[in-house]
Amino acid sequence: MRRTTETSLTIRGVEVPVKVVLEKRRYYRYALTRRCALLRLPSSASDKDVGQHLHRLGQWVEELAGQKPEVLAHFRGHNYRDGDGLLVNERRYVLQIHDEQRSTHVGYLEGKSIVLRLCSHVTAFERTKAIRVLLSRVVAGDFQAEIERRVHEINRRTVNRPIRRISLKYNTSNWGSCSSRGNINLSTRLLFAPQEVQDYVILHELAHLVEHNHSDRFWALVKQYMPDYRRHEKWLRENSHLCRF
């Protein structure tokens, strides 16, 4: 039977979430994704085995970070404080952060302020994650109408296909997605990118309403409406670490 637990490791001052998976397999495996460090072990592994491999996983990530420091960028959260400012796509917000005796985290927009009411009993890592998720959710609500307008505008002058729903979501694994039912999902991280880069990602997902894979026909369609799309792809590759809450 597969069992999954979660913990974290501190690597170079950065808290990296770790997912430990005990499953039917013969050998161990280490991996580092945008979301976590992943440790896969045989289901027969003892607590001692898990502890030893967690130590080795930490050493492996440490060595990897020495070669490529950018691999930790996805886990280096902002240290937000009460009264801080947050600039998103030329909109400036003031953060009001309150640690309270409560069971759930809550965030909402109040004028030009984002109010966060946090559970005071959580760990520093959980607090940082909660702030990131809440900020993303509140900002998504504030930008939803504008993004919907932009998607429909680009759709009308390009592929002109029916769209079922447009969503802004906190997603660190990709910039956007398009379902076979016509749902367009965009990552809130995209709001930190320049307008022309946002438009490229929107066009990219709209093109999937016509071509559902990344075939030559898909890229030809993207190029038809945005000949310099590679420039925007390059920006995303080189600046993804700047696009985060």
* Contact present, 157 and 175 (Cβ < 8 Å): no
* DSSP-derived 3-state class of residue 184: strand
Amino acid at 36: C
Residue 17 CB-density burial (10 A; 0-12 exposed, 13-18 middle, 19+ buried): middle
pLDDT in tens, 154-199: 999 999 999 999 999 988 778 999 998 999 999 999 999 999 999 9
pLDDT of residue 78: 77
Model confidence band, residue 68 (pLDDT cutoffs 50, 70, 90): confident
pLDDT of residue 35: 76
pLDDT in tens, 198-228: 999 999 999 999 999 999 999 999 999 999 9
CA-CA distance, 75 to 77, in Å (whole number)? 6
pTM of the model: 0.75
Cα separations (Å) of 6 from 20, 33, 94, 171, 241? Answer: 6, 14, 33, 19, 24
Q: Identify the structural domains of the chain with CATH numbers, from first to last.
A: 3-75 (no CATH), 85-242 (3.30.2010.10)
